[in-house]
Amino acid sequence: MTDGKRRVALVTGGGKGIGRAIAGRLLADGFDVVICGRNAPAEPPSHEARAAEFEACDVRIADEVQAMIDRIIARHGRLNLVVNNAGGSPEADAATASPRFSERVLALNLLGPLHVAQAANRIMQSQPEGGSIVNIASVSGVRPSPGTAVYGAAKAGLLSLTESLAMEWGPKVRVNAVVVGLVATEAALDHYGGEAGMKRIDAMLPLGRMAGGMDIAGVVSFLASTDAAYVSGAKIAVHGGGERPLFLSLAQMNGG
The catalytic site residues sit at 151
Residues 226 and 75: their CA atoms lie apart, in Å, by 25
Name the nearest CA neighbour of 13 among 177, 136, 106, 160. 136
The continuous run of DSSP H or E covering 174 comes out as strand 173-180
Q: Is the dihedral of CA 60, 62, 67, 68 positive or negative?
A: positive
Name the nearest CA neighbour of 41 among 50, 31, 51, 32. 51
* Residue 231 main-chain phi, psi, to 5 deg: -105, 115
Provide the 8-state DSSP code for 111.
I
Q: Is 86 exposed, middle or buried (0-12, 13-18, 19+ CB in 10 A)?
A: buried
Residues 167 and 175: their CA atoms lie apart, in Å, by 9
* Size (the chain), residues: 256
Judge contact between 133 and 165, C-beta under 8 A: yes
**Residue 131: strand pairing partners:** 173
Strand, coil or helix: 163: helix
